[in-house]
Amino acid sequence: MSPSGSESGIDHGGLLACATPRTWLHHACSHVDALLLDHASCEKKAASTAVSLLFRYPEQDAFVQRLSRLAREELRHFEQVRAVIARRGIAFRRVRPTRYAGGLHRVARSQEPGRLVDLLIAGAFIEARSAERFAVLAPALEPQLGAFYAGLHAAEVRHCRVYLDLASAQSDEPIDERLRAFASAEAELITEPDARFGFHSGPPG
């Protein structure tokens, strides 16, 4: 399931079934303030998701340690985006989430252990898409902001791998079928017109 025609030329974990639409990229480049505000919100939510998993599934030391480290990195990214927002003089405000994460979580099974496996897979797709968007944004934005996004890319790829490794470790069977289900849902969320613009939204509709 490598990306089809990814503009970044990078296979983000072999997960993504489609590349970011050019219409989304063009809109993002002309609405940088909104992009940064939603990006900050996404980083905060990513840290919150990792912490939530720690509370819900605290029994395994390796599981807890990897998610704890990931949560700290997400909070650091949140701080970095906030600093960019402050430097640019953007008034910070809360933003409503787009449909993306909720749409992925609706694919998750409701019963354990499948639910945990699927939540981890959803996390992997969110991180993979973040990495792909960092890669396409970096050369399209002004140099300073583009360099900032390029610098975040490797961490998102690593976070994707953490979630995939944890999902595989929690499953008694191969997760390929679940990856295909999430890839299909994720591609729809990314390519279908979206009523609200955000870091993980589809093209403006």
CA atoms within 13 A on the CB side of 44: 13
Separation of CA 186 from chain center: 11
Is the per-residue pLDDT at 198 higher than 50? Answer: yes
Is the per-residue pLDDT at 81 higher than 70? Answer: yes
**For 50-77, what is each residue's pLDDT tens digit?**
999 999 888 888 899 999 999 999 999 9
Give the pLDDT mean for 11-23.
84
pLDDT of residue 13: 52
**For 95-131, what is each residue's pLDDT tens digit?**
988 999 999 999 999 999 999 999 999 999 999 999 9
Is the per-residue pLDDT at 5 higher than 90? Answer: no
Give the pLDDT mean for 148-169.
96
**For 163-178, what is each residue's pLDDT tens digit?**
999 999 999 999 999 9
**For 37-50, what is each residue's pLDDT tens digit?**
999 999 999 999 99
Q: What average pLDDT does the structure give for the chain?
A: 92
In a 10 Å sphere around its CB, with 0-12 CB exposed, 13-18 middle and 19+ buried, how is residue 86 labelled?
exposed
d(CA 5, CA 64): 36
SS3 95: coil
d(CA 146, CA 153): 11
pLDDT of residue 59: 86
SS3 97: coil
Separation of CA 60 from chain center: 24
Q: What is the pTM of this model?
A: 0.92
pLDDT of residue 157: 95
Going from N- to C-terminal start, the domains of the chain cover 22-93+101-191
Separation of CA 134 from chain center: 10
Choose the CATH number for 22-93+101-191 among 3.30.70.380, 1.20.1260.10, 1.20.1250.20, 3.40.50.2030.
Answer: 1.20.1260.10
Is the per-residue pLDDT at 82 higher than 60? Answer: yes
